[in-house]
């Protein structure tokens, strides 16, 4: 029987093998941005091609090794398997960063069990040279070049000392709601960050680089792999509302997660 450790290693190998597709193309995409027409649809087309090519390559690798597993991908892949395991793929998380030439983007490959629980996660950021890796019950670690750093539970921080990351929905009304919440919380926390790639934001909490994170409208492929990492270091991961739609995701150490949930509910963000 294949262990979760074996599946983790497979996910890591696939992420590393497929990473050159978007990584090598990023300079070309960034340069093409300045020559694109001034419509958002034209800009999106530039990245969609790389998104699709990367997802196709990842799926091909999965199918070669695990033909009976299910697959759910950001670019439309949705197949049901017979093993109880489903691979959840975001070929380029942080596409706006990718498009503008920022390094804060990643390939996110996660696996959930039959109950939908994340059991394996690989979040690979080629431009940063960082890879977060986890399997249920086997811990989580960060690869920095040839160095492996085992991740341990980050310490609790009170709200006033917490460094918090967030993101903004593409929906205008929800963007406004998050902005208002940040305006209220800003004087009461250490500071805010908005790196722009959900999976990396969640992993940054697991690595102790942030104390907490919240965002509306994440999809499963945005968070599954990173949740596997977060769970292995004892973080609380909460999705309020529709987990496939407009829910609110909160990731933090247990006490801070409760505080953030309470504060965001009082500000009308957690409905």
**Chain segment 126-148, per-residue pLDDT in tens:** 999 999 999 999 999 999 989 99
Distance, in Å, from the CA atom of 227 to the CA atom of 110, rounded to the nearest integer, reads: 9
CATH number of the domain at 201, please: 3.40.190.80
Judgement on whether residues 125 and 41 belong to the same structural domain of the protein: yes
| pTM summary value | 0.94
Confidence band (pLDDT; 50, 70, 90) for 174? confident
Q: What is the mean pLDDT of residues 232-243?
A: 91
Distance, in Å, from the CA atom of 44 to the CA atom of 26, rounded to the nearest integer, reads: 14
Q: Which of 91, 115, 150 is the last residue of a domain?
A: 150
Judgement on whether residues 18 and 76 belong to the same structural domain of the protein: yes
pLDDT value for 29: 82
pLDDT value for 41: 46
* Alpha helix ranges (H) inside the chain: 4-18, 20-33, 40-65, 95-100, 172-185, 198-206, 220-232, 254-266
pLDDT value for 35: 52
CATH number of the domain at 144, please: 3.30.540.10
Instruction: Count structural domains, the chain.
Output: 2
* Structural domain of 71: 4-150
Judgement on whether residues 49 and 123 belong to the same structural domain of the protein: yes
pLDDT value for 39: 45
Closest CA to 219 of 146, 165, 170: 170
Judgement on whether residues 36 and 104 belong to the same structural domain of the protein: yes
Q: What is the mean pLDDT of residues 32-55?
A: 67
Judgement on whether residues 55 and 142 belong to the same structural domain of the protein: yes
pLDDT value for 246: 73
Judgement on whether residues 125 and 187 belong to the same structural domain of the protein: no
Average pLDDT over the chain reads 92
Q: Is the pLDDT of residue 54 over 50?
A: yes
- Domain assignment of residue 101, yes or no: yes
Judgement on whether residues 226 and 145 belong to the same structural domain of the protein: no
Give the SS3 label for residue 107. Answer: strand
Q: What is the mean pLDDT of residues 160-180?
A: 91
Q: Which two tokens stand for residue 164?
A: 């918090």
pLDDT value for 14: 98
Q: What is the mean pLDDT of residues 239-258?
A: 88
Q: Which of 95, 127, 150 is the last residue of a domain?
A: 150
Judgement on whether residues 212 and 92 belong to the same structural domain of the protein: no
- Domain assignment of residue 141, yes or no: yes
**Chain segment 3-42, per-residue pLDDT in tens:** 999 999 999 999 999 999 999 998 888 777 665 544 444 4
- Domain assignment of residue 43, yes or no: yes
Judgement on whether residues 202 and 228 belong to the same structural domain of the protein: yes
Judgement on whether residues 171 and 144 belong to the same structural domain of the protein: no
- Domain assignment of residue 223, yes or no: yes
Judgement on whether residues 67 and 114 belong to the same structural domain of the protein: yes
- Domain assignment of residue 271, yes or no: no
Judgement on whether residues 65 and 197 belong to the same structural domain of the protein: no
**Chain segment 60-107, per-residue pLDDT in tens:** 999 999 999 999 999 888 899 999 999 999 999 999 899 889 999 999
pLDDT value for 209: 97
Strand order in the sheet with 248-252: 191-193, 163-166, 212-216, 248-252, 236-240
Q: Which two tokens stand for residue 95?
A: 């596409």
């Amino acid at each position: 029987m294949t262990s979760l450790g074996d599946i983790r290693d497979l996910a890591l190998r696939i992420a590393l093998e497929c990473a050159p597709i978007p990584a090598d193309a990023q300079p070309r995409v960034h340069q093409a941005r300045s020559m694109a027409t001034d419509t958002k649809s034209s800009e999106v087309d530039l990245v969609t091609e790389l998104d699709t090519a990367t997802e196709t390559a990842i799926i091909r690798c999965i199918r070669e090794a695990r033909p009976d597993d299910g697959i759910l991908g950001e670019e439309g892949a949705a197949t049901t398997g017979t093993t109880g395991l489903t691979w959840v793929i975001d070929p380029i998380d942080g596409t706006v960063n990718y498009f503008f030439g920022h390094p804060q983007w990643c390939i996110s490959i996660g696996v959930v069990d039959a109950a939908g629980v994340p059991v394996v996660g690989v979040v690979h950021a080629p431009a940063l040279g960082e890879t977060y890796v986890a399997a249920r019950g086997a811990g989580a670690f960060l690869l920095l070049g040839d160095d492996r750093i085992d991740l341990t539970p980050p310490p609790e921080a009170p709200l006033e000392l917490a460094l918090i990351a967030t993101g903004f929905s593409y929906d205008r009304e929800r963007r406004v709601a998050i902005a208002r919440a940040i305006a209220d919380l800003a004087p009461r926390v250490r500071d805010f960050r908005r790196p722009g790639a959900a999976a990396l934001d969640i992993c940054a909490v697991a690595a102790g680089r942030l104390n907490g994170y919240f965002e509306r409208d994440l999809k499963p492929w945005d968070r599954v792999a990173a949740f596997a990492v977060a769970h292995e270091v004892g973080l609380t991961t909460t999705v309020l509302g529709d987990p496939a739609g407009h829910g609110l995701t909160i990731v933090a150490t247990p006490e801070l997660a409760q505080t953030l949930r309470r504060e965001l509910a009082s500000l009308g963000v957690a409905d």
